[in-house]
Amino acid sequence: MDYDPIKIEIFKHLFAAIPEEMGTILRRASSSPNIKERRDFSCALFDGEGRMIAQAAHIPVHLGAMPLSVEAAVRRFDDLQPGDMVALNDPFRGGTHLPDITMVSPIFLPSGGPFPVSQGNSGGPGGLVGFAASRAHHADVGGMTPGSMPVAREIFQEGLIIPPVRLARAGELDRDLLDLILANVRTPGEREGDLAAQMAANQRGIVRLIEMIARYGWGEVTEAGEQLLAYTERMTRRLIAGLRDGTYRFTDVLDDDGVSNTPVPISVALTVQGDTATVDFTGSAAQQAGSVNAVYAITLSAVHYVFRCLLESDVPNNAGCLAPIQVIAPPGTVVNALRPSAVAGGNVETSQRIVDVLLGALAQACPEKVPAASQGTMNNVTIGGRDPFSPDETGAAFAYYETIGGGMGGRPTGDGAGAIHSHMTNTLNTPVEALEYAYPLRVVRYSVRPGSGGKGRFRGGDGIVRDVQMLADAQVTILSERRKNPPYGLSGGEAGRCGENVIIRDGQEIPLPGKGTFDLKAGDVLSIRTPGGGGWGAT
């Protein structure tokens, strides 16, 4: 069936509206500030073959990796039925890191029509027609530190590992399984509320796709999905064909793995040939003792994100983007770690560096399109303990998680934005009012970090200063980068300023490393000073 451009555009928005609405349901129904306020979640829609058809404008590091979660769910259960819901967070079976719990729901057309169906199409009434999926970062899933983002040496220290399991069967919640999950986390009430919100979001995705098929017919909806996948692939091939053929290399480093002080190099060789590209990470460091290891899904997600950024904004974001791109990530390296490596930081920090090295390579192929390095870190902070102000006489447990923005790199056409999340994170901040309402914490400073952006014809954006005072004794974990090696400038621009982590105690500043767990007392102030972006062009 041939579609005119107007009809293709209509279906692009019809498909995209489904995960957007799923995201609205998830945000409004959730319990935790991390999901409700920061919006640390993602939703997507997949066809019956597990190909991503549409996604909402949520978290890049989630969305490029979610197809592997759907694949893992289907591989584990070949007898999925209407009303089933598969949950998982195992990074080595489709997940990213343990706090990110994914829900995958198969979508079946009801056996009682009427549904206009193409002749001979196996996806008719009663058949599997797609999947709705949501992924949310849960503020605690157990493990050795509150917030489940420790500087660990193996994944078993990071929290509860959930392989693909059926949390619901034929619409009935498996209460025993849910109770097992909740017994292994510090904040079970909050976790139950967030999991229920994900289930509600998936259910809305199921309803909306069935409604679309009822209106337009299964054959027409299927053909529209194929057309959109093909269109994105054509646009990606056209993009690659516009680059100069050749091999472009770039290397950057992580500061360390949190266990040793040794830099961790990540290298890429980008080979452009005609309308295809090979992204080869051979030569990157071996998997590390600390928790900066990234699983293959993360590396794939970062590559997807970079190439999607080079496409026009109106190109649909779907599986077609990766069709002309081969990704090579040798097993046992920091970009394709093997069990039982610790991976909490790989999702949030190593993903950022993978983006930096790929953009550094692309800057040689299309310098007019690529900005200098952005802050290159998510500045992860978790704070947990007992809340003495809670109604619970013993003090209810709390676990706060935050990523903090910084500077974006200067661009060939203008200065970089300041005090903003960039690249693989796309969250908001936790508003001061929401943070102070929910936790025994007080924000005493929240400001732009002036002068932290790199100089150049176009300056890098400035970072952020966020000072949080403890109102109760608490344990703090920091996973941050660009504390030793600054974000690079391009085309003669200067590097951005490195970030700093500091405890302010009795008026004295105590420097902290980029990664670690620390015990703070009531009255202590944790100060996170984030990096600025690199500058672009000589002054």
Residues in the chain: 539
Question: Is position 220 within any domain?
Answer: yes
Domain membership flag for residue 128: yes
Please list the residues that pair with 347 across neighbouring strands.
Answer: none
Q: Is 360 part of a structural domain of the chain?
A: no
- Number of domains, the chain: 2
pLDDT tens for each residue of the chain, 539 residues long: 565 788 889 999 999 999 999 999 999 999 999 999 999 999 999 999 999 999 987 677 776 788 999 999 999 999 999 999 999 999 999 899 999 999 999 999 987 655 554 333 344 446 899 999 999 999 999 999 999 999 999 999 999 999 999 999 999 999 999 999 999 999 999 999 999 999 999 999 999 999 999 999 999 999 999 999 999 999 999 999 999 999 999 999 999 999 999 999 999 999 999 999 999 999 999 999 999 999 999 999 999 999 999 998 889 989 999 999 999 999 999 999 999 999 999 999 999 999 999 999 999 999 999 999 999 999 999 999 999 988 775 679 999 999 999 999 999 999 999 999 999 988 889 999 999 999 999 999 999 999 999 999 999 999 999 999 999 999 999 999 999 999 999 999 999 999 999 999 999 999 999 999 999 999 999 999 999 999 999 98
Count CB neighbours of 246 within 10 A: 11
Q: Are 496 and 460 in contact (CB under 8 A)?
A: yes
On whether residue 347 sits in a domain, the answer given is no
Query: What residues contact residue 283 under an 8 Å CB cut-off, 6+ apart?
Result: 251, 265, 267, 269
**75 is a domain residue:** yes
Does the residue 293 lie in any domain? no
Among 233, 267, 302, give the residue marking a domain's end: 233
Angle at 402 (CA atoms; ends 476, 291), nearest 5 degrees: 65
Taking CA atoms, 453 is separated from 141, 175, 181, 351, 411, in Å, by 36, 51, 44, 21, 12
Give pTM, 2 decimals: 0.95
Q: Which of 233, 260, 283 is the last residue of a domain?
A: 233
The label of the residue with tokens 């293709």 reads: 8
> Does residue 431 sit within a domain?
yes
Domain of 395 in residue numbering reads as 371-539
Boundary-marking domain end, from 233, 255, 290: 233
Sign of the alpha-carbon torsion through 22, 191, 71, 62: positive
Judge whether 259 lies within some domain.
no
